[in-house]
Amino acid sequence: MPLVSHFETSFGRIFERDCILVEIQSEGLTGWGECVADRDPGYSYETSGTAWHILKDFIVPLLVGQQVTDAHDFQYRVANIRGHHLAKAGVEMALWDLLGQREKKSLRELFGGQRGSVPVGVSVGLQDTPEILLETVSKYIEDGYRRVKLKIKPGRDVGDTQVVRRAFPHIQLQVDANSAYTLETAPALLPLDDFDLLLIEQPLFDDDTWDHARLQKLFKTPICLDESIVSPRHARYALEMQACRIVNIKPARCGGLSQGLEVHDLCEQAGIPVWCGGMLETNIGRASNLALASLPNFSLPADISASARYYHEDLTEETFSLNPDSTISVPEKPGLGVTVIRSRVEKFTLARVVV
Ligand code: OSB
Ligand code: MG
């Protein structure tokens, strides 16, 4: 799927995304899920290649012809498959879509979400120059986004953030390093403490919960973990270690929507606010993120932007647009609440496997 504009993080620039869709047919219904693995192992060790393999050869064969009752039953059945959370989450999403359709309830209702719309922001990739960055941010603010996240990396951190903060003194601003620093290099970020940022996301390695705890002590600004929180257990470790004051929940990274819900509840009990991250999903994954983000402890704006920010042609009849108050409405129809345009899927299909 070609992106409307390239997206650059500390681990690289992409112009298009490989999206694996999972379609499950059961009891006359069709459920859809999206696996958010990228083509390259930059954000996660999983790639679209490994997810394809794990799905086709391990996860899906465990399910075909079985009576899978719900997400917890699914997690129990795939528990002996180590890791590969993004692959698992793609299937769990399709199961939730089926469950919702069968019970004629939206995912928001199944999750117990209260809000009909959720506050959102936009995640802005690294740009070639600070001037282009400012132009890009300005356009998003004109579009109506009231919260902006900047991608940073060593050498493109304090300066870039300062340019945006000076131009927009009152916008809700945060940064995301995607693990580009170490405990030794991260003090270069200390000047960010004066920029009134909502948070600093994942400065250190994904397996470095302990060093994040040491780093948080040096900063007034809350550190927020993304890559490190790969399960509810890891969320508990981070909370007990005080490795962060805010958690980014990407349900896929945690192993599925049910696991994202558990992280939400753990954080709520610990008094730690959460927000919903994004993986440049198509409208299929976006629908599930919106449902999750309708829960009460998602108290910071989500990385869920309008459909037009991602793809010229998305995969569903529905289009998600930004409301004037920088929110996006949560789907209300049963299941994911979106209707997949099959001809659109065909148009972008590179490979298909039926099990
Ligand atoms: O770290 O949050 C991240 C996209 C791909 C991989 C990692 C990240 C992101 C984003 C995009 O920031 C957020 C979005 O979907 O709009
Ligand atoms: Mg992130």
Is the beta carbon of 199 within 6 A of some atom in ligand 1?
A: no
Structure tokens at 117: 């719309």
278 lines ligand 1 (CB under 6 A): yes
pLDDT at 350: 97
Helix residue ranges, H only, 271-301: 283-292
**DSSP per-residue codes, 105-174:** -BHHHHHT---SEEEB-EEEPP-SSHHHHHHHHHHHHHHT--EEEEE-BTTBSHHHHHHHHHH-TTSEEE
Contacts of 191 (CB under 8 A, 6+ apart): 158, 162
CA of 6 relative to ligand 1 center, distance in Å: 12
Closest ligand 1 atom to 281 CA: 15
DSSP letters spanning 229-241:
--SHHHHHHHHHH
Distance 205 CA to ligand 2 centre (A): 12
Rounded to whole angstroms, how far apart are CA atoms 350 and 75?
29
CA of 226 to the centre of ligand 2 (A): 5
Distance from residue 16's CA to the centre of ligand 1 (Å): 13
Specify the pLDDT at position 93: 99
Domain boundaries, the chain: 2-106, 110-329
**Ligand 1 atom nearest to CA at 250:** 2
Relative to the CA of 248, which ligand 1 atom is closest? 2
Measured from the CA of 304, which atom of ligand 1 is nearest?
Answer: 16
Residue showing tokens 């148009």: 347
Q: Which fold has domain 2-106?
A: Enolase-like; domain 1 (3.30.390)
Residue 294: half-sphere exposure toward Cβ, Cα within 13 Å: 22
Cβ–ligand 1 distance for 121 under 6 Å, the answer no
Q: Is the CB of 43 under 6 A from ligand 1?
A: yes
Is residue 105 left, alpha or beta, with left meaning phi > 0 and alpha meaning psi from -120 to 50?
beta
178 lines ligand 1 (CB under 6 A): yes
Distance of CA 177 from the midpoint of ligand 1 (Å): 11
Phi-psi region of 299 (alpha: psi -120 to 50; beta: other; left: phi over 0): alpha
Q: What is the pLDDT of residue 264?
A: 98
Ligand 1 near 176 CB (within 6 A): yes
pLDDT of residue 54: 98
280 Cβ closer than 6 Å to some ligand 1 atom: yes
**Residue of 123, 126, 322 to test ligand 1 pocket, by largest number of atoms within 8 Å of CB:** 123
Q: What are the residue numbers of the active site?
A: 151, 250
pLDDT in tens, the chain (355 residues): 999 999 999 999 999 999 999 999 999 999 999 999 999 999 999 999 999 999 999 999 999 999 999 999 999 999 999 999 999 999 999 999 999 999 999 999 999 999 999 999 999 999 999 999 999 999 999 999 999 999 999 999 999 999 999 999 999 999 999 999 999 999 999 999 999 999 999 999 999 999 999 999 999 999 999 999 999 999 999 999 999 999 999 999 999 999 999 999 999 999 999 999 999 999 999 999 999 999 999 999 999 999 999 999 999 999 999 999 999 999 999 999 999 999 999 999 999 999 9
Pick the CATH number of 110-329 from 3.20.20.120, 1.20.1540.10, 3.30.750.24, 3.40.50.300: 3.20.20.120
